[in-house]
């Protein structure tokens, strides 16, 4: 969670700069650098989300094998499917946002 503070801050700064400059993201080198940092941090974030969700799904699969699961284990097993959203939907949302920023930085701006 803490690892996402810097990319989120960069995203906020980029969007604010685009909004305040009327869509002009500055020199091409700055726009390319910003796009690269956003892409790198987004990829790392997506990998972290995907792997943590995959690990949680693996733990839940092993918990299903327990003969006498506790109430906590039962609750985990009832809600394990939410990890699919973390695994796939969140990175997809990032991709759409990233493409929108690229559009504004390089095409519409």
Q: Give 55-86 pLDDT, tens digit per residue.
A: 999 999 999 999 999 999 999 999 999 999 98
pLDDT for res 2: 63
CA angle 86, 70, 81 (to 5 degrees): 20
Q: Is 15 exposed, middle or buried (0-12, 13-18, 19+ CB in 10 A)?
A: middle
Quick check: 20 pLDDT over 70?
yes
Cα–Cα separations (whole angstroms), residue 91 to 39, 74, 104: 12, 28, 20
pLDDT classification of 54: cutoffs 50, 70, 90: very high
| For range 39-48, the mean pLDDT | 83
């Amino acid at each position: 969670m803490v690892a996402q503070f810097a990319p989120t801050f960069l995203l906020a700064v980029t969007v604010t700069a685009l909004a305040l400059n009327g869509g002009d993201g500055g020199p091409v080198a700055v726009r390319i650098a910003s796009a690269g940092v956003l892409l790198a941090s987004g990829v790392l974030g997506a990998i972290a989300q995907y792997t943590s969700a995959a690990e949680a799904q693996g733990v839940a699969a092993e918990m299903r094998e327990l003969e006498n699961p506790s109430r906590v284990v039962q609750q985990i097993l009832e809600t394990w499917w939410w990890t699919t959203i973390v695994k796939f939907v969140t990175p997809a949302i990032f991709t759409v946002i990233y493409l929108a920023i690229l559009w504004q930085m390089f095409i519409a701006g």
